[in-house]
């Protein structure tokens, strides 16, 4: 009898310990506990040590942290009939643990499916140029649509970003040719503007030299000095300088002929001295 009583006592202690362990739940700081009793929600438990009634109660622990969900690549046709493959990433978090457990069965699967559908619908309403240039606008549109849908699930979508845009090879080549043509156009415009400014500057310089003829001679002399620095054996004289030298030579010749002409004072004096 004593052995039977001792055995019952030990069994009772073991059962009590097991029941105590089964009734203890720990809710982490980043979690909220949805407390069910006989299938009905009786409250949302905050982080800490929580006691439940074994068998009768159940405690669902829901993470409140931000979840990163990649949206797999989708084959989408844009408004201008270009086929692109777009992948994205969505960030969401549970804000109402009761709704996230009671209203919807699997939050992650639901967010994944609705994000893929919304991505196709939104991108399909834009042209390829808008998809490439206005990603922030498209991200905002996708987020607004997801927020309007997921608010009933107790979930908040914090951010949606287009992660990768894959274009067909033919479209890549066409865009490369377009970019090359655009750069060539810019280069030609810049070169034309430079020529126009250079022509205007040369026109101003020529006007200045017309008003001041010696300026051209000074420029020619400066050019000769620059040629002389290189120690060249051949010097090319500018045509205006050669004209100036020819005019100077002709002037000296005329002066010489005039001095030798009859009736010139010096010639008369020389003849008088000879007669004497």
Same domain for 73 and 163, yes or no, is yes
| Number of domains into which the chain is organized | 3
- 3-class SS at 236? coil
Say if strands 40-45 and 31-37 run parallel, antiparallel, or are unpaired. Answer: antiparallel
Q: Are residues 71 and 138 in the same domain?
A: yes
Determine, yes or no, domain membership for 101.
yes
The tokens of 270 are what? 């020389």
93 shares its domain with 142: yes
Residue 99 within a domain: yes
- Digits of tens for pLDDT over the chain (276 positions)? 667 777 777 777 777 677 666 788 888 899 999 999 888 999 899 998 888 888 888 888 999 999 999 988 888 888 888 888 999 999 999 999 999 999 988 888 999 999 999 998 999 898 888 888 888 889 999 999 998 888 889 999 988 998 888 888 888 888 888 888 988 999 999 999 988 888 888 788 777 777 776 676 677 667 767 666 666 666 665 555 556 556 657 767 777 777 665 555 555 545 545 445
**Do 182 and 218 sit in the same domain of this protein?**
yes
Q: Which residue has the tokens 């987020």?
A: 143
Which letter, b or e, does each residue of 127-147 get, where b requires 16 or more Cβ atoms within 10 Å of its Cβ? ebebbeeeeeebbebbbebbe
pLDDT of residue 262: 56
Compute how many other C-beta atoms are within 10 angstroms of the C-beta atom of residue 240: 14
- Are the C-beta atoms of residues 94 and 100 closer than 8 Å to each other? yes
Would you say 98 and 174 are in contact if contact means Cβ atoms under 8 Å apart? no
Domain of 26 in residue numbering reads as 19-63
Same domain, 59 and 77: no
Residues 163 and 183 in one domain: no
48 and 84 part of one domain:
no
Cα dihedral 172/178/183/188 (nearest 10) = 160
Distance (Å, rounded) from C-alpha 27 to C-alpha 43?
Answer: 14
Say whether both 58 and 98 belong to one domain.
no
Could you tell me the CATH number of the domain that includes residue 121? 3.30.479.30
Specify the length of the chain in residues: 276
Q: Is residue 236 one of the residues assigned to a domain?
A: no
Residue 196 domain flag: yes
The predicted structure's pLDDT at residue 155: 92
**Quick one: pLDDT at residue 239?**
55
Q: Which of 40, 63, 86 is the last residue of a domain?
A: 63
**Residue where a domain terminates, one of 34, 63, 92:** 63
pLDDT in the model for residue 275: 47
Domain end: 211, 226, 241, which one? 226
In a domain, 253, yes or no: no
pLDDT at residue number 36: 92
Is 148 a member of any domain? yes
Q: How far is Cα 173 from Cα 170, in angstroms, rounded to an integer?
A: 5
CB environment 249-273: b (16+ within 10 A), e (fewer)? eeeeeeeeeeeeeeeeeeeeeeeee
Distance CA 23, CA 4 (A): 28
- Same-domain status, 134 and 100: yes
Instruction: Give 63's contacts (C-beta < 8 A, 6+ positions apart).
Output: 30, 31, 94
86 and 137 inside one domain: yes
Asked if the structure places residue 261 within a domain, the reply is no
Tokens of 157: 């979508």
> Domain for residue 242, yes or no?
no
Please tell me the predicted confidence (pLDDT) of residue 210. 72
The verdict on 99 and 147 lying in the same domain is: yes
Provide the 8-state DSSP code for 74.
Answer: E
């Amino acid at each position: 009898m004593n052995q039977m009583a001792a055995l019952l006592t030990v069994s009772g202690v073991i059962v009590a310990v097991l029941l105590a362990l089964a009734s203890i739940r720990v809710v982490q700081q980043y979690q909220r506990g949805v407390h069910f009793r006989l299938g009905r929600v009786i409250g949302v438990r905050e982080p800490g040590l929580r006691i439940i009634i074994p068998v009768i109660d159940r405690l669902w622990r829901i993470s409140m942290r931000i979840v990163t969900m990649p949206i797999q690549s989708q084959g989408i046709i844009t408004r201008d009939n270009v086929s692109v493959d777009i992948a994205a990433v969505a960030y969401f978090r549970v804000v109402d643990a009761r709704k996230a457990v009671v209203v919807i069965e699997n939050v992650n699967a639901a967010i994944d499916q609705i994000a893929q559908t919304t991505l196709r619908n939104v991108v399909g309403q834009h042209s390829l140029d808008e998809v490439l240039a206005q990603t922030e606008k498209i991200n905002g549109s996708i987020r607004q649509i997801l927020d309007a849908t997921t608010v009933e699930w107790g979930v908040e979508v914090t951010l949606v970003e287009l992660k990768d845009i894959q274009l067909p090879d033919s479209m890549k080549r066409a865009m490369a040719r377009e970019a090359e043509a655009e750069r060539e156009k810019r280069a030609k415009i810049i070169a034309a503007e430079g020529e126009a400014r250079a022509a205007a500057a040369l026109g101003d310089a020529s006007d200045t030299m017309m008003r001041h003829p010696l300026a051209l001679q000074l420029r020619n002399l400066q050019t000769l000095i620059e040629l002389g620095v290189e120690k060249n054996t051949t010097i090319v004289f500018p045509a205006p300088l050669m004209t100036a030298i020819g005019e100077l030579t002709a002037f000296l010749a005329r002066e010489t002929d005039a001095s030798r002409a009859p009736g010139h004072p010096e010639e008369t004096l020389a003849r008088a001295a000879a007669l004497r």
